[in-house]
Structure formats: C-alpha cells, structure tokens
C-alpha cells in the first residue's frame, strides 16, 4: 500500500508539472489575449450580399489566383422554419457573395481545404428522428462554390446515443494518408451528441470515405482527449439550483500555431431546455491539446456582449497579406448588449 501511495503522489506531481509549466503555456496566453481583445473594426451581425444572416460562419482562405474567390465561408440562416447552409465567396472578408445553397434542414457547417486544393465540408442535417452528419467532397473550388460534389456520405446516429437524441456541430480535425485519393485516407471529425438534457463530446474517424467504416470515440478518449472535461471544469462550479447544469458542451473548431495544437469550444452551465434562459449563458473556451486543459475566454466587445457561442477560427493572410487569426462567434438574441448574429474579426499574430 505504501508503494502504491508513493507512485500516486509521483504521478500527481509529474502531471501537475506538465500542466502548470507546459511549453505551450506562453503561446496559449498570447492567443487568449489576442482573442479576448476584439478590435473596433470587428463586424457585428454579419450578412451576405442578399441580406441573409451568416450564422455560425466558418471562413477559410482558398489561395486561388482569382481574388474574388480569395476567401470562402459556409454558414446557415433561417429558411422555412428550419435552416439552409449557404456558400459564399469574398475578396476582402467583409463583403460576401452567396454562390449556392445546400439542402433544406442543413446547418452548422464546417469546411477544410485539402493539400491538393480540393475541399471537404461537414454539416448537421435535420431529420424528424434526430440530426445526422453529412460529409461532402469537392474536386475544385469551382465545384465547391456551385455545390457540385464528387461524392458524399451520411453518418448515422450511433446506437449508444439515447433514443430521440442526435449528433451535430461537426468540425474536421484532420485527414491522414491523403494524397489526392479520398478513398485512401482516414478522416477525423469532432461532434456533440445529446445525452439526457445535455450535449456532450464525441469524435469519429472515417476510413476511405466509407460510411460503413466509421469508428466512434467518446469522452475522455475522443480524438482530442478530455476536451469535454476541460470545459466541465469551468461549468460545474457555475451550477445553481435552477440551472439544471452542468449544461452543454457543444461546437468546437481546431487549429495549430507555433507548433502546438489548440481548439475553441463552447460551453453552457445552464441546461434547462428553455432557450430564453439557457442562451444567456453561452461561453467559449480555448483548449490546449498539450496540457488537456482549457482557459475561459472573456471577450471585450464594443457592445458588451455577455454570451457568445459557436466559435470558429482560421489562421490566414488577410487582404493586406498580414498573417492573422480570424474568428467568428455567434451572439444569441438573449445576450446582453449586442445585437444577435455572427461577430467577425481578425487580429495579427
């Protein structure tokens, strides 16, 4: 017994040292400061040129020689009692021309440019039996902008998800083994799933872009380990007698900087199921894959937003060719201070 206790103490000291003095700490602190200080040039209530709200927009750089297609965004907006995902292009990150729409009931889209200039898109597709995740593969930017896909698959709800619950808010973590052939690759995707009254984290890998070769991973052993626990660390102490917490751990988006891997992820200490109450409390966090912990973000906006969710992040070159971190957050109607919609801004790194 004495030897076991000694081993446990050593393990705790070592783990604590890794977290408290990790090499990624300085980089994470820098990123947190950049993200928290929203510049005065930020855009609130982002819309496309048709006047559609660009809710939960994910923006990437295309590296296309045609400057009018320099950037692409995927986003959703209300449509007939549900949502549709829009695809838009921009030359300057501020004016967005919609080029196509996905099917009715699509939302929460994410997109990745592959090493050979092809594209992968993931989104949440609504069904009466619960949302599922669709993945679509495009051979070119032209095909993407026109929504002419080469192939697509749909990921069914896994058997361990409770009846009546769903999966959603996909993000594309990475693809391995890819050299121009999507059917010889392994794709890693993050998602959330419904559990009782709360959303929790999962991830899955798709081998050879085959819907029958899907392997699910659940907390804490998701592709990005313990990402759910790192957010619950902050949410659990905020529970109250009326919050029915610890609420939801939802959408996420990952990126790499300075040799380290990070993600932004949303969380909510409230989970009553009443939007007018729960949506007041959405928060976002910066997750460090090296230390497996998260820092709570405290955005300083010109309108004093108190709730911000659905974070998306991309490192890219802005229209002046400055390397920046570009961010979007969705500000709910229930947030104090700001008008509802997507907040977009970027800051130099």
* CA 27 remoteness from chain centre: 20
Span 82-88, mean pLDDT? 98
Mean local confidence (pLDDT), 82-89: 98
CB 306, CB 12: distance < 8 Å: no
The mean pLDDT value for 11-22 works out to 46
pLDDT at residue 228, as a whole number: 96
Say what percent of the chain tops pLDDT 90. Answer: 79
- Contact between 141 and 135 under an 8 Å Cβ cutoff? The reply is no
**Span 268-275, average pLDDT:** 79
d(CA 62, CA 299) in angstroms, rounded, equals 28
Containing 293, the helix (H) or strand (E) segment is strand 293-296
Dump pLDDT digits (tens) for 93-144: 999 999 999 999 999 999 999 999 999 999 999 998 889 999 999 999 999 9
- Bridge-based pairing state of the strands 293-296 and 198-207: unpaired
pTM: 0.92
Summary mean pLDDT of the chain: 91
Residue 276: per-residue pLDDT: 66
Query: Once rounded to an integer, what is the mean pLDDT over residues 181-188?
Result: 98
| Helices and strands (H, E) in the chain, number of each type | 5, 19
- At 289-313, the pLDDT tens digits run 999 999 999 999 999 998 999 999 9
SS3 192: strand
- Contact criterion met (CB below 8 Å) for 108 and 123: yes
Please say if the pLDDT value at position 49 is more than 90.
yes
Q: Tell which wins on pLDDT, 6 or 128.
A: 128
Alpha-carbon distances of 271 from 106, 166, 231, 232, 285, rounded to whole Å:
24, 16, 14, 13, 18
| Cβ-proximal residues to 196 (8 Å cutoff; 6+ apart), any chain | 162
Give the span between the Cα atoms of 142 and 138, in whole angstroms: 9
Q: How far is the C-alpha of 128 from the C-alpha of 88, rounded, in Å?
A: 28
Q: Which residue has the higher pLDDT, 276 or 109?
A: 109
Tell which phi-psi region holds residue 67, choosing left (phi > 0), alpha (psi between -120 and 50) or beta: alpha
Reported confidence tier of residue 245, pLDDT bands at 50, 70, 90: low
Weakest mean pLDDT among 80-84, 171-175, 279-283 = 279-283
pLDDT category, 39, cuts 50, 70, 90?
A: very high
Note the pLDDT tens digit of each residue in 188-214. 999 999 987 789 999 999 999 999 999
Give me the domains of the chain, ranges plus CATH numbers: 25-348 (2.115.10.20)
For residue 4, the model assigns a pLDDT of 35
Place of tokens 């229930």: 334
Note the pLDDT of residue 239: 80
Contacts of 278 (CB under 8 A, 6+ apart): 247, 248, 268, 270, 271, 272
What are the tens digits of pLDDT across the range 325-343?
A: 999 999 998 887 788 999 9
| Residue 235: per-residue pLDDT | 93
How far is it, in rounded angstroms, from Cα 253 to Cα 238? 24
pLDDT for the residue 13: 32
Closest CA to 139 of 155, 154, 121, 160: 121
| Spatial distance between the Cα atoms of 142 and 62, rounded to a whole number of angstroms | 11
């Amino acid at each position: 017994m004495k030897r076991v206790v000694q081993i446990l103490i050593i393990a705790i000291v070592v783990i604590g040292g890794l977290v408290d003095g990790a090499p990624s700490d300085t980089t994470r602190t820098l990123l947190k400061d950049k993200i928290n200080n929203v510049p005065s040039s930020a855009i609130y209530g982002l819309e496309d040129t048709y006047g559609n709200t660009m809710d939960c927009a994910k923006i990437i750089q295309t590296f296309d020689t045609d400057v009018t297609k320099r950037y692409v965004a995927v986003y959703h907006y209300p449509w007939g009692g549900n949502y549709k995902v829009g695809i838009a292009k921009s030359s300057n990150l501020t004016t967005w021309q919609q080029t196509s729409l996905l099917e009715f009931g699509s939302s929460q889209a994410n997109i990745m440019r592959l090493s050979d200039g092809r594209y992968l898109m993931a989104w949440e597709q609504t069904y009466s039996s619960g949302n599922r995740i669709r993945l679509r593969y495009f051979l070119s930017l032209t095909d993407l902008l026109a929504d002419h896909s080469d192939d697509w698959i749909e990921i069914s709800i896994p058997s361990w998800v409770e009846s009546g619950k769903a999966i959603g808010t996909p993000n594309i973590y990475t693809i391995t083994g890819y050299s121009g052939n999507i059917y010889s690759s392994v794709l890693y995707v993050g998602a959330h799933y419904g559990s009782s009254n709360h959303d929790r984290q999962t991830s899955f890998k798709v081998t050879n872009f085959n819907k029958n070769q899907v392997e699910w991973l659940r907390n804490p052993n998701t592709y990005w380990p313990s990402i759910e626990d790192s957010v619950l660390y902050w949410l659990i102490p905020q529970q109250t007698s009326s919050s029915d917490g610890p609420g939801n751990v939802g959408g996420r988006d990952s990126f790499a900087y300075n040799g380290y891997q990070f993600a932004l992820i949303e969380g909510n200490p409230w989970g009553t199921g009443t939007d007018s109450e729960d949506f007041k409390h959405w928060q976002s966090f910066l997750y460090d894959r090296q230390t497996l912990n998260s820092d709570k973000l405290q955005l300083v906006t010109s309108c004093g937003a108190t709730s911000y969710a659905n974070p998306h992040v991309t490192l890219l070159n802005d229209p002046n060719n400055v390397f920046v971190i570009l961010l979007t957050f969705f500000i709910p109607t229930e947030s104090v201070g700001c008008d509802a919609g997507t907040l977009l801004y970027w800051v130099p790194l």
